[in-house]
Structure 1
Amino acid sequence: MRIAPADRWERRLYLAAHPFAYPLLRGLARRGPAVRVPGVGVVVNDAALAREVLLDGETFRKDGPGSPGDLWTPVLGPSVLLNMEGEAHRALRRKLTDLFTPAYTERLCARVLAEPLARLAGRLEQGREVDLVDAMRVMAGTVIGHVIGLQARDADGYRHLFEQGERIVAMVSLRTRRLSPSQVARARRVLDPLGDIAAESYTSGDEGTVMGRMRGLGLSEEEARGAAGAFFLTGTETVATLVPRLIALLHDSGELERVAADPSLLDPALEEAMRVVTPTPVMLRSVHVPAAVGGVPVRPGDRVLIATHNCCRAYGPFDLDLVHPPELRRLWFGAGPHFCLGYPLAMAEVRAVARTVLDAAPLTVTHRRAARGVLIPTYRRFVIRRKARS
């Protein structure tokens, strides 16, 4: 099978992260829209079918056996959106609706990333090499640090914050159903102090902070503390891994200078890059009532694994001009009541960094290496430099 040039490194990243599970996952894509796999559950490979499952919160839930609730409730507590359903979920979601508006997130990222973006732009302008992986770790740590309410830190401090979250997420593989007691204890040792800081920020009631805004929106301290932990675990690594992969896809497909020259292409490039990299390669649901998934009968307690990566990659290799059909639209962020609440913040952060990098075009990639032992496939290093102008 011929692999498109822009996809060769993407395949390498997935194989480095999941050398056994990834070939199995891709092999299942050829078995039809839905297939039952012993020991795994019912695997969904079709975007339209995946959207149906995600929109049916009564049948397919996040709080049953084999669901995200099994993974994260022992770590984050019972009151975070990613492990809730029903009226309790709807009530908390309503409170948080206005937390991350596009206008607010744009202002937040412009303010807290001003200094690291200026450093990044300066290094590129001088023709110096930049490891975009390390730069994104610092910036992702900076943003989530401000969300939680941490006092200002230097680059090393924010880098360390990111690495703490990375170590927790790395405990999860594509096959993990629940964390062991020792893993839960390790995660709590990181998250409990951060929760204390978030609680202090909440108590201060400063509407200029995200935690203060949560208090103003009517969240309890426990809800705000749980939300801070969820944002820390689910938002930082997703954003940090996306930007180097976006720039790699644009570079490898020969589209980088085209997007750099036309700012209106940045959002389509982001959407297409996210389709290819699929920031959330799988999503889990637990069956609550008897039903069928793509003709496959399921019973209460069955596990449904939505192979988001298979759903998205069914539309071919990276193609900047591909028009995404309605069933595919931002499927990697979920759908319906569980669509990612932090989506506006993630996009504001990614746009800010991507614009800074693209402003330095033309660029060349001088070194890259795939990361191993991670949940979300990524580069361990991705070094870029501005090309000398002739």
Structure 2
Amino acid sequence: MNPADRWERRLYLTAHPVAYPLLRLAGRRPVVRVPGVGVVISDAALAREVLLDGDTFRKDGPGSPGELWTPILGPSVLLNMEGDAHRALRGRLAGLFTPAYTERLCARVLAEPLERLAERLDAGAEVDLVDTMRVMAGAVIGHVIGLETRDEDGYRHLFEQGERIVSMITLRTRRLTSSQVARARRVLDPLGDVAAEAYAAGDDGTVMGRMRGLGLSEGEARGAAGAFFLTGTETVATLVPRLIALLHDSGTLGRVAADPSLLDRAIDEAMRVGTPTPVMLRSVHAPATVGGVAIAPGDRVLIATHNCCRALGPFDLDRPHPPEVRRLWFGAGPHFCLGYPLAMAEIRAVARTLLAASPLVITRRRAARGVLLPTYRHLRVRRAAP
């Protein structure tokens, strides 16, 4: 096993020492029914078929994401909607995170943190990319919600608040307990109040103000802010350290630094290997057959996105992604991640700064425990000596 693969496996086993081996075991068959879990799909083509069939496989029934998120985010946040209501809200949000807008937003919000990062690397200082990304992710999501936080400790605190909520969920969690919902609400309600104030101000220069201009109600905008806060911060924050580690361990960091046109390919390949959304849930609403397995209404479907993506093999910068795998970790069809352009803009901005300081060496790293998304507890890098 090469170093890149060995470290990725360690991240998953440290985060999910019991669930991860079981998930990989289920991946030996394209579709398998696992007692207490549901029907597990580990084939990318079948997974994409399920994700595209929003009538049969839904996000708003028993065992679906709706059971997790509705109690803390409300009933209308895309994550727990289907049908006409989902299409209508999705349509109003379609113009929110355009690629051009997100590039400008990240360039503006991250200008100072990225300048400090570049200065530290240029000076030969050791930098913890995990902490760095907590600051970056906190800065961006704080701007999206409308917070006035402008210091690194504030950004870290904001990120940690979201991390505490997400860490309550495991790969087997079906629903949150009443005490977990209460804890989540204590974090989200004040953030929702801030988002509502930004919405009421109606400034087109803010994300919340743009939501008002796009025709969202205050409740819808508030729910969307909470959803972005919970689903967007950790995905980006955990990916960048893993991206740099994968490039470093595979010996391709210098190659991408020398050829910026390879960056998006490197990001996609790192996401395929790391799979920021390792599983996706759906509730079955009509009889169906997937991969020869009969599925009945009320069944729970667990799409093992990680198994689907890892079937292509270990990290390889030159590996083409077949259509059924392409960006599967962001979903497919009507539920393809709305924040995809924002996530990519943020990852690119930080990665470009790191690559500009190349060559980099990893000085220390450690896998994180007690997290939903496998990640490093710390990953420290510095510019290599000439």
* Global fold match (TM > 0.5): yes
TM category, shorter: over 0.9
Distance 1:299 1:326 in 2: 28
Residue of structure 1 in register with 2:280 after alignment: 283
Q: Secondary structure at the match of 1:326?
A: coil
Residue of structure 1 in register with 2:75 after alignment: 78
Aligned partner of 2:130 among 99, 110, 133: 133
Distance 2:141 2:274 in 1: 22
1:13 aligns with 2:26: no
The equivalences for 1:238-387 within 5 A come to: 238-387=235-384
Residue of structure 2 in register with 1:93 after alignment: 90
Residue of structure 1 in register with 2:196 after alignment: 199
Aligned partner of 2:148 among 129, 146, 151: 151
Deviation sequence 1:119-159 (CA, Å, 0-9, x none):
00000001100000000000100000000000132100010
Distance 2:235 2:33 in 1: 28
Listed as ranges, the gaps of 5+ residues in structure 1 are none
Report the alpha carbon displacement of residue 356 of structure 1 after superposing the two structures with TM. 0.3
Query: RMSD in angstroms over aligned alpha carbons?
Result: 0.5
Distance 2:375 2:340 in 1: 20
The equivalences for 1:28-47 within 5 A come to: 28-30=26-28, 32-47=29-44
Residue of structure 2 in register with 1:227 after alignment: 224
TM-score, normalization by structure 1: 0.99
Residue of structure 2 in register with 1:26 after alignment: 24
Residue of structure 2 in register with 1:182 after alignment: 179
Deviation sequence 1:162-221 (CA, Å, 0-9, x none):
000000000000000000000000000000000000000000000000000000000000
Distance 1:39 1:294 in 2: 20
Deviation sequence 1:222-244 (CA, Å, 0-9, x none):
00000000000000001000000
Distance 2:189 2:289 in 1: 40
Tell me which amino acid in the other structure corresponds to 2:229.
F
Q: Secondary structure at the match of 1:83?
A: coil
Report the alpha carbon displacement of residue 6 of structure 1 after superposing the two structures with TM. 1.1
Distance 1:247 1:151 in 2: 30
Q: Secondary structure at the match of 2:363?
A: strand
Report the alpha carbon displacement of residue 293 of structure 1 after superposing the two structures with TM. 1.5
Aligned partner of 2:102 among 105, 112, 132: 105
Distance 2:93 2:319 in 1: 33
Distance 1:189 1:358 in 2: 39
Q: Secondary structure at the match of 1:364?
A: strand
Deviation sequence 1:40-95 (CA, Å, 0-9, x none):
00000000000000000000000000000000100000010000000000000000
Distance 1:20 1:6 in 2: 22
Tell me which amino acid in the other structure corresponds to 1:154.
D
Deviation sequence 1:292-317 (CA, Å, 0-9, x none):
11111111110000000000000000
Q: Secondary structure at the match of 1:91?
A: helix
Report the alpha carbon displacement of residue 4 of structure 1 after superposing the two structures with TM. 2.3
> How many residue pairs get matched?
386
Tell me which amino acid in the other structure corresponds to 2:85.
A
Distance 1:224 1:174 in 2: 28
TM-score, normalization by structure 2: 1.00
Aligned partner of 2:168 among 160, 167, 171: 171
Q: Secondary structure at the match of 1:251?
A: helix
